[in-house]
A and B are shown apart, each in its own frame.
Chain A
Amino acid sequence: MQRLRDVLRRVTPGDSGDGGAPDVPTGGAEPTADSGDSSELRSDGGERTDSPRTSSELRSDGGATVTGERTDSETGTLRSLTSSDFVQSIPFWLPPFLLMAFFVYGAIGWNLVISLTDFSGLILPEYAISEFDLEMYRQAFSDPTFWTAARNTLVLLVVFTTVCLLFGMLLAILIDQGIRFENTFRTIYLLPMSLSFVVTAKFWAWMYNPQIGMINVTLRQFGLGFLTTQWISNPSTKLAAVIFALIWQYSGYAMVVYLAGLRAIPTAHYEAARVDGASTIKMYWRVILPQLRASTMSAAVVLMVFALKAFDFLYVMFGNHPGPAADILATMMFREAFGSNNWAYGSAIAIVLFGMALAVVTPYLYSEYRRGEL
């Protein structure tokens, strides 16, 4: 929402501010060529007192020269509103937009309203404004389960994203060394990402099996039996085990993004660093990594969104009750709403989760917009 306001603020005053200035010379200059009383028109435009006659003349002028399609003056706006471009574009974007907006923004609004009611069990929600209150949020903020889940969500977000980025960057640098079978390596590293959370959760539940799972068996094989533990039932390793599996699944994504970033850096930068006698590590640290900021940012945002969607994985592994060690807001929301039928309470938790996502995504989208990459 804040982003939308920024967009609007940037668009509206900006147009009336600098939109008028460039328009005056063009509007004034064009008639000079064909009409005699050019001086009158130009002074007229300069003072910005648009008489109806002038504006109509300007419009016809713009229509004649064709190039004046995007004159940003008042007349331009009028014209672009009635002109074919906007009207003709409507059938293309409006139907998909309405469908998407109803399901995304309509549903979020509806969710917000439900979170203000006392909707639970089989009794339908009452949408009466007088009945709305923040009771559900008060209940959440005084619920220790909520704070545990919020803390776990934050740990998951930060640890998963950071490790994924570091690991993905390392993978990208290794792949970028002009190796043979580059495509094969890249394909294998990205492979887990094509799998469903349901599938990977099944795989990792088997990997983590305390008696005969691969991890513990391998540890015992190497004489590290003292390290074995019940990875996904031991509260102290539970969340770490989940994060590790998620990193396995998504580090390939960070690699792909970084690889694209590395390939975009001109070879001259590498060569310059080489000529200056920089060691490989120094070259990457001083010259290459600083140029990967944009890749880092976009990968980080998408990874955080993946982490927020890690619900499927936890649900398959632990069902509705992952226990306090691995409970995140997403699983708590689902448990409250669809397990215990506390619909309004679940909606309130969902709104908190939505707020977290917004806090991550808004600055990113805004900076993308400022760089003109939206």
Chain B
Amino acid sequence: MSSPPATPTPENRTRREEIADAVRDAGRRRIALYVVLFGLVGFYLAPLEAGLMTAFKTTDAFNRTVPFVPPIFGGFTLEPWRVAFNEMSHALINSMLLAVPATILSAGLGSIAAYGLTTIDWKYQMPIVALFVAGIFIPYQAVLVPLSRLFAIVNTQELLSFLWGLPLMHEHYASIINLIITHVAYGIPITFLLFRGYYQNLSVEMIEAAKLDGASVFSIYRNIVLPLSTSMFAVTLIYQFTQIWNDLLFALVILPSGGGAAAPVTVALNSLTGGIIQSFNTQMAGAFVAALPTLLVYVLFGEQFAEGVAGS
């Protein structure tokens, strides 16, 4: 196919035949390519499809049918979804209360830190940048024992005792506040890196011009850098929201054993068994309930998520 067309082949084929051959060959390769691509779609979606189908089946049905076949021959039920949603609705609220503020705070702090160390250029900032970036890569196991000690010593519930008498406030929010602080602190390195990469490409002339006009660093950030970072904020918020929503480890360590009233959705899903026997239909429904917000974010903003992922 890639041989130069000018050289005559031993069979003395005409040019036209050669081209026809090449086209047929290319067409065949094209078909093979799409077969492989669709096969891979099957590979990536199979666990989700099997899970979704199982979530709509009765216990009897998923025990005797093939996992990925839809429950069209009887055995269709919404009961697993009802059970899963009932048991996890409280945890969904907790996860929202945790993920939304933690996401916004970590993105905001990452942005101002990156501004202070990238756009404002001063000497000896590299060691600090390095400390920020290295924070992305630490295995969280190395901080778990101190974290549990810290929140045993610092009793947020007592410190904020004046809050719990207020309407709409509950004592278990103290644990959620602990989790928010933790997620913000460990989220800063990655949000810092994302914003730093973005701010490095901002036009230097523009900043210099604003400086010459006598703008203070605060007003440069407020009036120039911040409005320009909206797209990067979208990327960072989406990425951080998924990370914080999906976390299990910090919740296991910081919350009282079993999660208590403050259990986020990952903890609730982990302890969701749906009865004495392992009922996979309830578990699969629960998995989808827990994954729904991140799946939704991903389907709507897949591009931004991919950008955040590639930046990390």
Mark A residues whose CB is within 8 Å of B: 3-4, 7-8, 11, 15, 70, 72, 77, 80, 84-86, 88-97, 99-108, 110-111, 114, 125, 171, 174-175, 177, 179, 183, 185-200, 202-204, 206-207, 209, 212-214, 217, 221, 248, 252-253, 256-257, 260, 274, 277-280, 301-302, 305, 308-309, 311-312, 315-316, 329-330, 333-334, 337-338, 343, 346-347, 349-351, 353-354, 356-357, 360-361, 365, 369, 374
Contacts and interface: CB of A to CB of B under 8 A. Distances in A.
Contact of B44 (A7, A94, A189): A189
Contact of A189 (B3, B40, B247, B310): B40
Given A103-B185, A217-B67, A196 B128 contact: no
B112 A92 contact: yes
B48 interface: yes
Contact of B217 (A89, A97, A347): A89
Contacts of A190: 302, 305-306, 309
A85 B46 CA distance: 55
A221 B69 CA distance: 13
Contacts of A309: 139-140, 249
Given A194-B294, A329-B141, A100 B135 contact: yes
B93 interface: no
A110 B146 contact: yes
A365 B133 contact: yes
B295 A88 contact: no
Contact of B142 (A199, A274, A305, A350): A350
B131 to A, nearest CB: 7
A192 B44 contact: yes
25 contacts: A7-B126, A7-B130, A11-B126, A70-B123, A92-B112, A92-B117, A93-B128, A94-B116, A103-B147, A107-B147, A185-B37, A195-B246, A196-B245, A198-B266, A204-B47, A209-B280, A277-B2, A301-B137, A305-B137, A311-B249, A312-B248, A315-B270, A353-B142, A360-B137, A361-B134
A221 to B, nearest CB: 8
Given A190-B302, A203-B50, 7 more contacts: A107-B143, A111-B142, A114-B145, A185-B40, A203-B287, A350-B141, A350-B143
Contact of B132 (A100, A107, A214): A100
Interface in B34-53: 34, 36-37, 40-41, 43-48, 50-51
A186 B143 CA distance: 35
B4 interface: yes
Contacts, number: 308
A350 B143 CA distance: 8
Interface residues of B, number: 101
B155 to A, nearest CB: 15
B242 A194 contact: yes
Contacts of B3: 277
B206 interface: no
Nearest to A6: B130
B110 A96 contact: yes
Contacts of B186: 100, 103-104
A111 to B, nearest CB: 5
Contacts of B66: 217, 221
Contacts of B123: 11, 15, 70, 72, 77, 80, 86
Nearest to A307: B139
B233 interface: no
